[in-house]
Every structure is written in C-alpha cells, then in structure tokens.
Amino acid sequence: GRFVISLSATMSILIGDTAPNFEADTTVGHINFYDWAQDNWVVLFSHPADFTPVCTTELGTVAQLQTEFEKLNCQTIALSTDTLESHHNWIPDIEEWSNASVTYPIIADAQQEVAKLYGMIAPNAKGSEMGKLTVRTVFIIDPFKKVRWTISYPPATGRNFAEIIRCIKGLQLTDERKVATPADWKEGDDVVILPNIPNDEAETLFPGFDTFKPYLRTTNLQ
C-alpha cells in the first residue's frame, strides 16, 4: 500500500545539533541570540501562552532561581507566541506571584518563527489549540552553541526547574572532570568514571575508585 510522508515546517532540534541563531524582539529589547548568549550556557524554554496559571508559576520560578543559574554561568530566555505588549502587561503578575523580578528576556514570537525553527509546536498536543501554541520545550545550550539537553512537557504539566539545574550541573561536571552522572544523581553523590578512561589513568585522576564491573567504576569528587 501507499503511504504519505508529511513534511512539517517545524524543525527538529536534536542533542548534539548546533542551536540555530535568530533575531527577535524581547522584553529587554531586540536581540541576536548568539550575541546575547555570548560564551554562557543558556536555557531556552517556551511556554504556551501569557496570562495562564501554569506559565505564571513557571516564569516566576525561573525569576526566583536567577541566582542559581548565574552561579552556573547560565542565562535563561523564555518564549511564547504572544506579542511584546502582552508580555510586558503580564510581567507584573509573574513578579507578584513569585516575589521576584523578571530580569531575563521573554521572546515575542507572534509569527512563530523561532518556535518553528526550534520545533516548539506540537500540533496534536492536547491543549495546544491545534498547533497555535508552543508546548513546554526546554533546550540547554552550551557555550559552543551546541544543544546538550532537551525535553518537552505537555501544556498542562509544569516543569521541574530543579531537574533542569541538576542537568546543567551534570553536563558541566562531565565536561570538566571526565565523569558521568548516574541515575538520580545529585550534587555530592558518587559519579561514574567515563568508560573510555583506562584504569591507569582513572587511578591517577580518581585514586581509590570503586569497581562494580569493568565498565562501571564510581568515585566521589568531594
């Protein structure tokens, strides 16, 4: 039988891809994404719509966590397909709920240009109003503009930003120390030595490491 492949205008951004550059109007002015990001880590996250309950709590939580993101050399930037005027009118509600200032930019993507570039629209997702709204997509982008982590939540489920921060810490640890983070890892827990590190080098880097299997070696960096 015949089948038809439907080509979407929305791109799919995968881990390891270069994050596409773009220009956009935001609540802190017009930006070129790469210029704005500079050599920092970035969390780019979309929300379905302004003046909605879950989104208000999410953007408020990010405002509360700005100090934590700054410690990780990480900038945050939000996006929805609402207008700039709508964003500015909504910010006081976010700040009232969170008791924190929204100092990070919110992209006004009324024409869905960035949303389509990053694959943030899921036309069949319940609550997305037939593809008119972005779902809760998150990208962690490193200083080399590589996508290192991505996840999408449905419109009705708020994100766990503590998990996003945990993942940034894990990614940075892997880059700095030749280790990986095991299931449910949190800061201070044992880590896994990368499999491509031979034992003699591992003994130099991580004296007294534990071996469960030849491919599963753990150590504590504290």
Query: Strand pairing partners for 76?
Result: 43
Coil, strand, or helix at residue 179?
strand
Active site residue 55: yes
| CA distances to 177, 198, 205 from 220, in Å | 11, 18, 11
What lies within 8 Å, CB to CB, of 129 at 6+ separation is none
Active-site residue among 13, 44, 55, 59? 55
Give the span between the Cα atoms of 106 and 93, in whole angstroms: 14
Phi/psi region, residue 143 (left: phi>0; alpha: psi -120 to 50; beta: rest), is alpha
- Please answer whether residues 54 and 137 qualify as being in contact, where contact means their C-beta atoms are separated by less than 8 angstroms: no
- Which is it for strands 29-32 and 106-108: parallel, antiparallel or unpaired? unpaired
Dihedral, CA atoms, 78, 79, 82, 88, nearest 10 degrees? 20
∠ CA 162-144-66, rounded to 5°: 30
Coil, strand, or helix at residue 29?
strand
Give the span between the Cα atoms of 189 and 206, in whole angstroms: 15
Positions marked catalytic: 55
